[in-house]
Structure 1
Amino acid sequence: MKGRFVIIAAAALLSSSAAQAGEYAPLDCAKAASPAEKAVCGSYALGQAEARMATLYGVSMSLVAMGQRGNIGEAQQAWIKTREACGADNACLDKVYGERIGVLDEVIRNVASHGPF
């Protein structure tokens, strides 16, 4: 019982720090409006990339210092514009998702190697 409480408390702490840092919500396919959003929602592979990228973004935002959160959030907003510029071009979308996932993976690797601890 005590272990479950610790896990729940840690999850709440992580989610609240990410929320305070500026959230990126994965695409809601029921509300997809742009050609890029519709293409992502229409492709299993791109949908998986969206889910992975959103997860990495949330984890990154919860692990880094406050100043870095602003930089990551601004980069995410710029990335969204890049994604939208792809329109319905799946190859372009695959490329930009791969690049963003690589950047966010690097953020997490950097924290793991140097640690905030």
Structure 2
Amino acid sequence: MKIREVLMTIAVLYPIAGYSASFDCQKATQADEKAICANRSLNDMDVVMATKYAFLLGLFPMGMRGEMMDAQKTWLYSRQKCGSDSRCLTKSYEDRLQQLDKIYAGIDKPL
């Protein structure tokens, strides 16, 4: 699938997904999850991050996904430490989105 097609799909689905985090808010138990569900801006950042992460994960062959999955787990653990602090959560998402953008920028792309 071409990147343009993927991005168009994301653009079409984003408004629909924009109303729900990447996890089930009804099952949120942690303070960070509850804060994300209660804050539209954090909720939207969560959806963007999850979409970028899933897209990037799909670009790597199975044998190379482990490192990226480990980095995501580490990030989730650090996000959890923010608790319900929206400023901390915002910074955490900004940093993770920047990391994901850097990973994408480093991928060899056909001309």
Class of the TM-score when normalised by the shorter of the 2 chains: 0.7 to 0.9
Q: Closer, same or farther in 2 for the Cα pair 1:89/1:65, shift >3 Å?
A: same
Greater relative CO, 1 or 2 (CA 8 Å, sep 6+): 1
Alignment RMSD: 2.4
Matched to 1:92, the amino acid is: C
More helix by proportion, 1 or 2? 1
In structure 2, what is the equivalent of residue 27 of structure 1?
A: 23
Q: Where does 1:35-46 land on structure 2 (aligned, <5 Å)?
A: 35-46=31-42
Residue 106 of structure 2 aligns to a residue whose secondary structure is helix
| Structure number with bigger Rg | 1
* Cα distance, 1:116 vs structure 2: 7.7
TM-score by length of 1: 0.72
TM-score (norm 2): 0.76
Output one character per residue of 1:32-55: Cα deviation in whole Å (capped at 9) or x when no partner. Answer: 111000000000000000000000
Which residue is 1:102 aligned to? 98
Identity of aligned residues (%): 36
Structure 1: 5+ residue stretches without partners: 1-5, 12-24
